Each structure stands twice: as structure tokens, then as C-alpha cells.
Amino acid sequence: MIRRAARSGRDVAVLLDDFGHRLPAVPAPPRAARDRGPFAELVPRRGPRGCGRGRAATPAPLSVWRMTSEQAPVVWPLIATSGLPPTGAQMGIDLLSGGAFYCDPVGWVTDEAIPVTNPNVVVFGKPGRGKSATVKAFALRMLGYGYRTLVLGDTKDEYEPLCRALGVEPFVVGPGLPARVNPLAFGPLGHGWDALDAAEARRREAVVFARWLVLIRGLVGSQAVPFGPVEETAVGEALRLLTGYRTAATRLTEPTIPRLWRALDEPPDELVACCRYADRRHFLDATRLLRDALGALVKGSLAGLFDDHTTVAVDWRAPIQSLSLSRLEPLGDSAVGIALTCLNSWGQAMREIADPGDLRIVIRDETWRQMRLGPEAMKSLDANLRLSRRDADVQMLLAHKPSDMLTAGDAASQAVAIARDLLHLCDVKVLHGQDQAVGDELGASLGLTPIAQRVVTGWAVAGKGRALWLVGDRAFQVQTVLTAPELRLTYTNEALTGGPA
Ligand SMILES: Nc1ncnc2c1ncn2[C@@H]1O[C@H](COP(=O)(O)OP(=O)(O)O)[C@@H](O)[C@H]1O
Ligand SMILES: [Mg+2]
């Protein structure tokens, strides 16, 4: 020891100690408790050792990329976007973030941070991929937030179990059945007409007549008959005459489509004069096509369904209302399309005076049937979607693929242009599984990136309820999770399996 001390010499502390000075000792650093973190032990690259523990004989090749966070989304465009707030219906799991996925279209519109300007939702997917089930689960889960649901045309009667579970008996419309719906109903705007001041009556008249004209134009247009200013004047004046508006009646009479047709077919002199025709013959010649188109509808597709005053008493405070249309199936696609157009107008009428906070989900399953009727039918749908912001309605359109909507006309036609616009009126798009060919189409019409397309044509095809949700420009890879009762209520395979779930 002494030798060692002699070799190293005295250090400063010992030297100062000889002179009676004590240097303060340096406190020993506290021993930091080791932060174990979420990973207790490192897993070797080839996986943990042991039987059945996932050990790979050869390690997976690693490719190393180095880039800035600004460049990363270009290479991996479907990288998880910032999440959505947990409001509205909890739909399932967002597989990109691993968190729960919530759907709240109206909430998204009111949130500045989310790039959504309208609450409309369009759902695409191959048949049987779970489009209807997703929408039903959404409607059911939004009930708790005060939303009511209106199913405008249930062409397969598949919403019936859901309605009955909520204690509501759906209306059944079909040939030979007593239920009638008048698409030319006044709706709530007609209430208390006699007490209205002139300005308000004029305003309401404009709204009601505009809606009627859109409907008649859609119906006549579905017969491939042009509907120009001549037809518009004739129909407008006939409706004014029928309702008593022209004679300034305090109580307006509700028109029906057969009455309108009769008024045009056997025009009173007053109508001929209002439309500025020299005589009856002149009027009849000018409106022949229009009259024949309406006549064909009155005797054909509309007969016994939409040709009289509404007989169903709809309880608008009920949690759900649905009109089952499967009985129309034997009458053909165009009959179903016409029924949907009529219901569209009727449903719109019922929403014309919506109380603030009266929130609705309007479901239009199998929308393509209406689209096929042509540009005019499409325009009436378009008008509804534009109004959804005002009415705080969540409009949900269900279709197989975007080109279904484009079948209304040839590529350069007005119908196709409207159909394209319709897609842009739906800021939320839910894309269920699709075949490869449709995937390319989605790329072209919705601007999907190749990686997003692969999610739709690959991952989403592999399971029911899997979908790519596009909320504005953000993408979410979502698996909708149904509870056991919901699975029973959404079961649509009876015809295939021969029994309920
Ligand atoms: N997320 C899901 N989990 C489990 N089963 C589902 C899911 N979504 C739908 N299904 C089932 O798949 C079947 C077809 O769904 P459906 O919604 O009718 O398809 P689509 O409307 O796309 O034709 C139904 O029996 C339904 O219960
Ligand atoms: Mg369906």
C-alpha cells in the first residue's frame, strides 16, 4: 500500500488535509431506476426460440429506407392519418391505428379540423360485402344521439327486422295492397295555409311547386320524353288550377298524378288560356307527348301505388320508418326506379319544415335503380343531397360501384356529368370489397391511390364489413364489428341458406 501511495504521490485532497482543509466530497450520483419500457426483453430477429413460438429458420430480408417525414407519405400514401374524434356511432376497429373508429358525419361537418363539408355518405361494395349491415348498424347506434332513420325504399324488405326490433311496423307498398303514397303531397308546408300571410304563402308555394316540377320532370323523363318549357308551363299551370292556388283559395286541394293527367288530357278553357294557347286543339297538340307519358305511368307503373292520396299515417317521431318495396320486383327495374323517385319527392316533402335538431338518417339502398331512370331522376336525387346540409340530414346512398350511377347515359351525356357530381356531393365514402376491374374504376372516378385500391380489392374482399373509409381526403381501414343481436337483424342470407341466422 505504502509503495503504491509513494508511486502515485499525494493527491490534492491529501495535501490540503495536511494543512487542515477538508474538501467537500462529490455526492455519488443517484442510481437511476431502469425504465423497462413496454418491451421487457428484446426479441431476436429470427423470432423467439422455442417450439411454436414463431421462430423463422431464415430471417426476413430487411430493406432500409431513409427519408424525411415529409417524403414518407408519398412512398406509403396510406399511412395512418390523424385520427377522428371519438363522437357518434362506434363502428369498429381502425386497423391502421388499432383504435376504435367512430362515424359522426354531422359532427365532422361542424369540426373545422376535418375536411368534410357535407354529411352525405356513399357506400360502394360488391353484393354481400356488408354495405347494408354497416348502414343498419350505423342507424341503430346513432339512435342514442337522437337521430331518426328514414329508409326511402327498401327494395328487398331487408330493413323489416330492424324496424320490428324497434317496435315499428314498416309500410308495405305493392300492387293490390291498400297503402298509397301521394308523391304530390303538400307535406308539412301545406298546414295552416289559410292563416299564412301573402309573402309566406308565396314562399311556400314556390318550394312546393318546385318540388312537384322536379318530380314530374323525373317521371316524364323516365319515359324518354323531353320536358322543356312548354311542358313545364302546362304542368305548372295545371297544378295551380288543381290546387286552387290560381283562384286564391284559402284551403289548397292536394293534387294527385292521375288528376294532373286528366286536367291535361281534358283541359278546361281556363288552363288553355293560362298557357296562352289559341284553343283546346292547339293545347292538346302541343302537350301530346307529355300527356301520353303521364298516361302511361298512371295506367302502368304508378297504378295502385302512387296514384291517390297518402293512406299511410307516418309517425315522424318514431325511431325508424321504412317503405318496403319488394312486391314491386316482378314489375321490373323501371317500376322500382319510378317508385323510388316518387318516394324521394314524398320524403323530401316531409322534411321541408324540419325542426332544428330534428336529425335524420335517410337511407337509399340500391340507389342505382333510380339512377338508371335517366338524368331527370338523377337531378331530383342531386337536389336532395344539396339540401342535406340545410336539413342536417345524413343521406346515405348504397350502390355496387360508381359506374352503376353512370349507366344513365352515354359517356359524354349530362346524366353522367350529374352522376359524377353526385359523388362529389358525398364527402364520406365507404368502399367495401370490389373485384380488380372495379378497383381500377374506383381509382379513376374517386382518385384512389394504387395502395388504397389494393386495400379495396384485396384486404376488404377477404372479410365482411371490411371497408376503406374516405373521410374527406383521409383514409381509414375499418373493420365494422357487429354484435350478436345486430348480426341477427342484418342477416340477409336467408334465401341462400334457407333460414335465419
Ligand atoms: N361486419 C360484419 N360482420 C359479420 N357479418 C357481417 C358483417 N357485415 C355483414 N355481415 C353479414 O353479411 C351478410 C351480407 O351483408 P349485407 O349487408 O346484406 O351485404 P350487402 O348489402 O353488401 O349486399 C349479412 O348476412 C350480414 O349479416
Ligand atoms: Mg344490401
State CA 110 to chain mean position distance: 17
Give strand ranges (E) for 386-457.
393-399, 428-432
Q: Is the CB of 156 under 6 A from ligand 1?
A: no
Q: Which amino acid is at 246?
A: R
Quick one: which of 381, 468, 419, 493 has its CA closest to 92?
A: 468
Q: Is the CB of 459 under 6 A from ligand 1?
A: no
> What gap in Å lies between CA 445 and CA 454, rounded to an integer?
15
Beta-carbon neighbour count of residue 239 at 10 Å? Answer: 21
Crossing angle of helices 333-350/375-391, nearest 10°? 30
DSSP for 89-102 reads EEEEEETTTSSEEE
Q: Is the CB of 492 under 6 A from ligand 1?
A: yes
Separation of CA 171 and ligand 1 centre (Å): 24
Q: What are phi and psi of 201, to 5 degrees?
A: -60, -40
Angle at 107 between CA 103 and CA 368, to 5 degrees: 55
Separation of CA 448 and ligand 1 centre (Å): 24
Separation of CA 264 and ligand 2 centre (Å): 40
Per-residue pLDDT of the chain (501 residues; tens, 9 = 90+): 344 444 567 788 888 888 888 888 888 877 766 666 777 777 887 888 888 888 888 877 778 888 888 887 777 766 566 789 999 999 999 988 888 999 999 999 999 999 999 999 999 999 999 999 999 999 999 999 999 999 988 989 999 999 999 999 999 988 888 888 899 988 888 777 778 888 888 888 888 888 899 889 888 988 888 889 999 999 999 999 999 877 777 778 899 999 999 999 999 999 999 899 999 999 999 999 999 999 998 888 778 888 889 898 888 889 999 999 999 888 888 888 888 888 888 888 877 777 778 889 999 988 888 777 777 777 777 877 776 666 678 999 998 888 776 665 565 577 777 777 788 888 999 999 999 988 888 888 888 888 889 999 999 999 999 999 999 888 999 999 999 999 999 998 876 766 555
Q: Is the CB of 491 under 6 A from ligand 1?
A: yes
Region at 177 (left for phi over 0; alpha for psi -120 to 50; beta for the rest): beta
Q: What is the number of the ligand 1 atom nearest to the C-alpha of 126? A: 22
Say if CB 338 and CB 331 are below 8 A apart.
Answer: no
Give the position of cell 509513494.
6
Say if CB 487 and CB 152 are below 8 A apart.
Answer: no
The whole-number pLDDT of residue 340 equals 87
Residue ranges with CB less than 5 Å from ion ligand 2: 132
Q: 470 in helix, strand or coil?
A: strand
Q: What is the number of the ligand 1 atom nearest to the C-alpha of 127? A: 23
Name, in order, each residue with C-beta under 8 angstroms of 303's C-beta and a sequence gap of 6 or more: 175
Q: Which domains does the chain have, with CATH numbers?
A: 89-157+360-492 (3.40.50.300), 187-290 (no CATH)
Q: Is the CB of 483 under 6 A from ligand 1?
A: no
Q: Is the CB of 136 under 6 A from ligand 1?
A: no
Say if CB 336 and CB 328 are below 8 A apart.
Answer: yes
Instruction: Give the cell for residue 237.
Output: 299551370
**Whose CA is closest to atom 12 on ligand 1?**
130
Name, in order, each residue with C-beta under 8 angstroms of 417's C-beta and a sequence gap of 6 or more: none
Q: What are the Cα distances from residue 121, in Å, to 116, 348, 396?
A: 11, 17, 5
Separation of CA 405 and ligand 2 centre (Å): 16
Q: What are the Cα distances from residue 219, in Å, to 212, 233, 338, 378, 410?
A: 11, 16, 7, 11, 20
> What gap in Å lies between CA 207 and CA 200, rounded to an integer?
11
Beta-carbon neighbour count of residue 380 at 10 Å? Answer: 22
Fill in the DSSP letter of residue 360: E
> Where do the H-state alpha helices sit in 321-367?
333-350
